[in-house]
Amino acid sequence: MAVRIGSEYKEKGQRDARRHREKQKKAVKEEMKKIISESSIITRKKGRKVSIPIREIVIPDFKPGTRKDNGEDTRAGVGQGSGKQGDVIGRRAGSGSDPGKPGNQPGEDYIESEVDIEEIIDLMLEDLGLPNLEDKEATARLEAVSGFRISGIRRSGPHVLLEKKRTSRQGIGRFYAYLESLKEETGRDELACYTALRDADGNLGEAIALLEQGIEATYDEVQPFPILESSDLRYMNLKEEKTYHSNAVIFAMMDVSASMTTEKKYLARSMLFWINEFLRKIYDHVEIRFIIHHARARLVDEDSFFKTGESGGTRCVEAYRLAGSMIESHYPTDAWNVYLFHFSDGEDWESAATIAEAKKLIEVTGVNMLGYGEIRLDGRPFSSGLIKAFEKELPVSTQDREDMDIIVGEKSHPFLGIVIRDKEHILPAIREFLKKERWKHQS
């Protein structure tokens, strides 16, 4: 026997699901800094999920109590008993009697809820107010064939595109024209003319000869059939359906020299991981090119980028030169939105050459943005490192937000530099790198 679920239960289930999603969304926002700094995320593949603790919803269960009434137990309802309004009837249990000692009181119940990283990115985009990026001109955007559509009929084409209905209509029209012609020319009745045309397989000359030989009608009714000539063939005309994608290329550049410790590389990779994920979400089409460097720079795939550990000296200029040559050969800025993000600890042997190459990318090549993150875990002052060289040579102003040292390009100058000192800076640094006003196309 089928079991039917009443509408009140369906509505309750929908309410509970909505309530759970709201709690899930709230938990993600509250735990955002912790979530995005989780080291295991950046090595996971598609379909990645993150476990979020969510406080369990407890539904109270009320039971009637008892009280003594003239020596007998009786049920006590609401509003009965010796208590008065405002009396304290219970207190929340503490976590333990002394700090540092194990507690003996029950804690709060939590459940682990799995959330797709894509959902987290959506919430972060909403929470951070990140931009919908502008497109280049339509002529410069990527063109892609999304399918085909029928656009009219033509008289020639491949057999596979033969439009049978319209072709047959042309042949039926010729059949009736031939039938009328036979009747007029021979004076025979319609069924005799139809018989001759049928036996001659639609050949008008042969049908006339059969009628002149005295062929008699062998059919009781006229059943028209198409008589086709090459001029009757009709073909479908197919046109490509084209779509245009807003297109961007992101150059993710990371210092992997000996001075970049495991923790520094982790912070750099975390920043680049989340920036890349955001840009994949924002753009219809985005290419990300991964460059690692020490004294030399090389292009690597995404998996190698997030796992490679190397050593050696530091020449940041090599990464900028490699990116510049690729922009010139494959990603011209009149057709592509070009963004560069570079992370290093700032110990650069040729900082003057690096600054010169960065200025060329901004002022000559015309990239949309150059973001530089300097990873510092040793307490060095702001007055040292590559970021200080950027401050001296570029038109920027120095700011201090959320305990971070920041240099920002003045007016429309597309440069942003941030000093990142611990993983608590990851989220605020992402906010700075992806602010709406930084994502305008340069004129």
Q: What is the pLDDT of residues 29-44, one digit of tens each?
A: 666 656 665 555 555 4
pLDDT of residue 253: 95
For range 8-23, the mean pLDDT: 68
Res. 128: pLDDT tops 60: no
pLDDT of residue 366: 92
CATH 3.40.50.410 residue ranges of the chain are 246-438
Q: What is the pairing mode between strands 72-76 and 65-69?
A: antiparallel
Q: Are 291 and 318 in contact (CB under 8 A)?
A: no
For range 220-241, the mean pLDDT: 82
pLDDT of residue 114: 66
Tokens encoding 348: 């650069």
Q: Please, what is the angle between helix 117-128 and helix 262-282, to 10°?
A: 80
- pTM across the whole model: 0.57
Helix (H) or strand (E) holding 240: strand 235-245
Which one-letter amino acid corresponds to residue 28?
Answer: V
Q: Answer with the residue of higher pLDDT: 240 or 42.
A: 240
Find the range with the poorest average confidence among 22-26, 132-136, 254-258, 434-438. 132-136
As a whole number of angstroms, the distance between CA 225 and CA 334 comes to 60
As a whole number of angstroms, the distance between CA 271 and CA 248 comes to 19
For range 286-314, the mean pLDDT: 86
Res. 289: pLDDT tops 80: yes
Q: What is the largest CA-CA distance in the chain?
A: 129
pLDDT of residue 161: 79
pLDDT of residue 4: 56
As a whole number of angstroms, the distance between CA 262 and CA 271 comes to 14
Output phi, psi for 46, to 5 deg: -60, 155
Res. 85: pLDDT tops 70: no
Top mean-pLDDT range of 107-116, 161-170, 181-190: 181-190
As a whole number of angstroms, the distance between CA 416 and CA 396 comes to 8
pLDDT of residue 266: 84
DSSP state of 242: E
Query: What architecture (CATH level 2) is domain 246-438?
Result: 3-Layer(aba) Sandwich (3.40)
